[in-house]
Amino acid sequence: MESALRPVGITGLGSWVPEETVSNFDLMKMIDTTDEWIVTRTGISERRKASEQEAASDLGVQAAQKALEDAGLKAEELDLILVATITPDMFFPATACLIQHEIGAVNAAAFDLSAACSGFIYALAVGSQFVATGMYRNVLVVAAETLSKIVDWRDRNTCILFGDGAGAVVLQPVEEGYGFLAFDLGSDGAGADLLKVPAGGSRKPATLETVRNNEHYITMNGNEVFKFAVKIMGETSLKSIRCAGLSPEAVDYFVPHQANNRIIDAAAKRLNLSADKVYVNLDKYGNMSSASVPVALDEAVRKGFIKKEHIVVLVGFGAGLTWGSCVLKWAK
């Protein structure tokens, strides 16, 4: 980052997951699978599921309020709310506006950002620019997902993987030398078909036929996404680390997207990081898309694994295809 820009960091965190737990044993009653298959292939034991009444904004509000409290900030002091989600309450208005109203952020601009599982990293990159340039002082980034609403609970290829949850962070100016040191973002739309919800958009609006054909659910080529993920997680992390003028040995803590243990292990190996430097919570929550990284980050900070001065790497990949990573010197 150029020195003319203000240093920006994370000054508050919060996360929230719905109450209902769906275990692998619950899934065994619904589809042809086993706990052993799911645990060995993914590392997931259970995931959370939003109730019929709960939408992404409800989860996001809970996480947002915790992040504001952690930062010691009132909702009225927010200048901008940025929400990363692929499961918005509705096509429009933006889920960010619904959260803005619910928390009483009467002075904030609000918009959504769609980059699937990389959404939180993308939103950090976008939100931090507003603070770095001096346009805004207090930015709230929320990642909120209710994947359970777009998963086909009869499809064993996908329903075992995903869960619901939300994470939020406050971005503010921090001391010189702290906060975000580098970002790397990327995309490859050639892989758009690998992971998508085929219908319900302008390409294929909702009809009785699209509903009958189950085209409003997630479809995924798991093997291809797996290969992409194994390659890109390490690659983008290394790019960010180098862009920050550091080497992998300088990394104190690594918070990766929580999609699959085997993908996380491959990335950690590429960076030569020991297991005690890598946060993993996918056993409890599965893949919460954009919410995975902020929920993991919040837990890692609360457990004391991340402390002031630590060099922290966040990394995600997902539908699009998209990927993103960033390096921070922890400021709090």
Q: Which of 15, 128, 240, 287 binds ligand UT7 (CB under 6 A)?
A: 287
Q: How far is the CB of 218 from ligand UT7 (least distance, A)?
A: 9
Q: Return the bridge partners of 47, or none.
A: 22
Q: Which of 117, 268, 326, 327 binds ligand UT7 (CB under 6 A)?
A: 117
In the chain, the amino acid numbered 14 is G
Q: Stretches 31-39, 133-141, 167-175, 181-189: which one binds ligand UT7 (CB under 6 A)?
A: 31-39
If one asks whether residue 153 binds ligand UT7 (CB under 6 A), the answer comes out as no
The residues near 58 (Cβ < 8 Å, ≥ 6 apart) are 50
The residues near 314 (Cβ < 8 Å, ≥ 6 apart) are 120, 121, 124, 255, 256, 293, 297, 325, 326, 328
The residues near 322 (Cβ < 8 Å, ≥ 6 apart) are 115, 116, 117, 118, 122, 185, 186, 187
Cite the DSSP H helix spans in the chain. 24-28, 35-42, 56-71, 95-103, 119-132, 208-212, 222-243, 261-270, 282-285, 292-302
Q: Which of 157, 187, 210, 219 binds ligand UT7 (CB under 6 A)?
A: 157
If one asks whether residue 331 binds ligand UT7 (CB under 6 A), the answer comes out as no
If one asks whether residue 37 binds ligand UT7 (CB under 6 A), the answer comes out as yes
What is the C-alpha separation between 287 and 117, in angstroms, rounded?
9
Q: Strand (E) positions, 147-290?
A: 164-173, 179-187, 195-196, 219-220, 253-256
Closer CB to ligand UT7, residue 178 or residue 323?
Answer: 323
Q: Which of 24, 138, 257, 281 is catalytic?
A: 257
Q: Stretches 12-20, 101-109, 205-213, 224-232: which one binds ligand UT7 (CB under 6 A)?
A: 224-232
Closer CB to ligand UT7, residue 120 or residue 130?
Answer: 120
Residue nearest ligand UT7 (C-beta atom): 222
Q: How far is the CB of 12 from ligand UT7 (least distance, A)?
A: 26
Name the residue among 213, 229, 212, 232 with its Cα closest to residue 221: 229
Q: Which of 117, 159, 260, 281 is catalytic?
A: 117
117 among known catalytic residues: yes
If one asks whether residue 165 binds ligand UT7 (CB under 6 A), the answer comes out as no
The SS3 of residue 260 is coil
What is the C-alpha separation between 205 and 198, in angstroms, rounded?
10
If one asks whether residue 44 binds ligand UT7 (CB under 6 A), the answer comes out as no
Closer CB to ligand UT7, residue 38 or residue 81?
Answer: 38
Structure tokens at 50: 């939003």
Q: How far is the CB of 279 from ligand UT7 (least distance, A)?
A: 16
If one asks whether residue 160 binds ligand UT7 (CB under 6 A), the answer comes out as yes
What is the C-alpha separation between 271 and 265, in angstroms, rounded?
10
If one asks whether residue 156 binds ligand UT7 (CB under 6 A), the answer comes out as yes
Cα atoms in the 13 Å half-sphere on the side-chain side of 7? 15
The residue ranges that bind ligand UT7 (CB under 6 A) are 33, 37-38, 41-42, 117, 156-157, 160, 220, 222-223, 225-226, 229, 259-260, 287, 318
Q: Which residues are catalytic?
A: 117, 257, 287
